[in-house]
Amino acid sequence: MSGAAADRSGSPDLSRYYTQKIKWAACEGETEAMAEAAGHAKDVRCGKVRVPIDYAEPGGGDVEVAMIRMKSSGSGEPRGSLLLNFGGPGGPGVSALAGSQKEFGFLSKDYDIVSFDPRGVGQSDPVSCGDLGTDPLDSGLGEQSDDPGAVLAELRKAAKECEDKSGPVLPHMGTVNVSRDLDVMRQALGDKKLNYLGFSYGTRLGAVYAAQFPKKVGRMVLDGVDTLTEPVAEQSLATAEGRQTALDNFLEWCTGNAGCVFGTDVRAARDGMVKLIQDMDAMPLRSMEGEEFTGQDVVGVLSQALYSRQAWPALSQALGALLADGDPRALIRMSGGLMGGVDTDGPRVDVPMDNMSAALMAVNCADDPDRPDAARIEKEVGKLRTEFEEASPVFGKSMLMPVLLCFGRPAGTDYIRERVRDVKTPKLLLVGTRGDPATPYRWTEETARRLGSQAVVLDNKGDGHTGYLGSVCVHDKVNGFLLYGETPKSGSSCPVDPKAQE
């Protein structure tokens, strides 16, 4: 018996999970279509692995975790698998890899490249909050925020709606369980060690795995390093501030170029963006099929597009079409093709439209042991709303919701905050980007200190969320580490890419 099957005396028997083999077959549906659009459908296969809903009681039912594999392109035997997590929490890895195989083609010379939809995400028993929709603020909570009693009632209703629509997996979301799923996948793939590349939230997952299974860690890269210590409220506030800074930088760039739809005045452009979102929340656009496109939908696209400076020209054109002609199609298309090509707004087979936001809330709440009581919510909700709106008039509203919606859910684990530290693993490569709008560079430094002497930091001086797909220097150093074991000296840096500033 290996891995978690016998990690503690008297632990439940997990041998049936650790002895399974993955049956790979041609991908179907949306995954197949995305792989064909990327021009590599013949190179990928899909499969599933079973994991227990509850590791403490493995007889209580299973989750089938959807997986995808891009076979190694090398002529010899691959060194094993390289598992990818594209972030979130709530990001589906199957569609992400299906649409972005060329970005990992160099790594596939030595590895089978593998990704997966974590439990509760995508094709792996997706959670949902039902009628709350893709933006829980649509429930009316935003308009009632000045009435603490109404806020509490709405939050209780929201928590119950999520519970009813998500099924038995919801209480067992969270990174500690996904990490254990990751170890089952490692064994099912036939790998003695986990080789891993995690982006954004995927760095939290990698760090937790390093703490839970230190002897099973192979070569691990954490890019766009998440916090292990800050509560949900502080994480969300930092993200709102980072995204607002990225938006301000985009608008400064846009107004400095001919043809910017917002004109040439930066302050007016900022006011114009806020007004656009407010107007579209009040009067959403409707497609021919009757579907609404709201201001918060614009915020969602901005949140993705601002992760990459290379996306700014396309974003400027898409916003121009929206403002000039009331045509959101280019903006909607931008939600695909970013960070792995995940199409968050396109049709999904059996995956609720709100799955990403519902999964994000479920995981972040499960990972956070802090849970304010009703009295504190009543006392502080007005203050929190003001604080988030001041941090970002554009992103504050959407970033406040993951904080408030933890109310009504059980308190999360303290494992990450208390026990993910001083890992006894091989060297881990941590990549932090100075201009990252989602994971501030200080989180890279803080996480490196917590993980201890095995954490090697690569300082990327550029902009954008994560470094591997946006910096040639980071790309080369990560490839060198994963393929050849070339570990950069801790504290070494990568300069700003000249092409990224054009």
425-456 pLDDT per residue, tens: 999 999 999 988 889 999 999 999 999 999 99
3-state secondary structure string, 162-212?
HHHHHHHHHHHCCHHHHHHHHHHHHHHCCCCCEEEEEECHHHHHHHHHHHH
| % of the chain residues with pLDDT over 90 | 53
Per-domain boundaries in the chain: 18-126+173-230+415-501, 232-334
Instruction: For the beta carbon of residue 455, count every other beta carbon within 10 angstroms.
Output: 24
Which residue's entry shows tokens 């018996």? 1
Radius of gyration of the CA atoms of the chain, in A: 22
pLDDT tens across 40-50, in order? 666 799 999 99
What burial class does residue 501 get, using C-beta atoms within 10 Å of its C-beta: 0-12 exposed, 13-18 middle, 19+ buried? exposed
CATH topology of domain 18-126+173-230+415-501: Rossmann fold (3.40.50)
Q: Which pLDDT score, from 0 to 100, does residue 139 have?
A: 44
What's the half-sphere exposure (Cβ side, CA atoms, 13 Å) at 281? 21
Query: Mean pLDDT across the stretch 382-409?
Result: 86
Nearest CA among 26, 46, 50, 30 for reference residue 38: 30
Q: What was the pLDDT predicted at 288?
A: 61
Q: What's the rounded mean pLDDT across residues 462-486?
A: 94
pLDDT of residue 402 exceeding 80, the answer is: no
Q: How many CB atoms lie within 10 A of CB 41?
A: 17
Pairing label, strands 455-463, 292-293: unpaired
Q: Taking 60 as the threshold, does the pLDDT of residue 404 lie above it? A: yes
Is residue 475 over pLDDT 60? yes
Could you tell me if 195 and 482 are in contact, meaning their C-beta atoms sit under 8 angstroms apart?
yes
User: Does an H or E element contain 187, and which?
Assistant: helix 175-188
Sign of CA dihedral 248, 252, 258, 261: positive
Are the C-beta atoms of 81 and 189 separated by less than 8 Å? Answer: yes
Cβ contact 185:67 at 8 Å: yes
DSSP code for 216: G
Report whether 64 contacts 49 (CB < 8 A).
Answer: yes
According to the per-residue pLDDT averaged within each range, which of 307-311, 318-322, 382-386 is highest?
318-322
How many residues would you count in the chain?
502
Residue 62, SS3? Answer: strand
More confident site: 397 or 139:
397
**CB contact at 8 A, 386 and 239:** no
Question: What integer pLDDT is reported at residue 311 of this predicted model?
Answer: 83
Grade residue 289 by pLDDT with cuts at 50, 70 and 90.
Answer: low
The residue with tokens 């100075």 is: 434
**pLDDT > 70: what percent of the chain?**
88
* pLDDT exceeds 50 at position 144: no
Retrieve residue 116's tokens: 């997966």
Q: Say if CB 312 and CB 254 are below 8 A apart.
A: yes
Contact 173, 120 (CB under 8 A): yes
pLDDT at 346: 41
- Contact between 129 and 135 under an 8 Å Cβ cutoff? The reply is no
**Mean of the per-residue pLDDT values of the chain:** 86
Task: Tally helices (H) and strands (E) across the chain.
Answer: 17, 11
- For residue 229, pLDDT over 50 is answered with yes
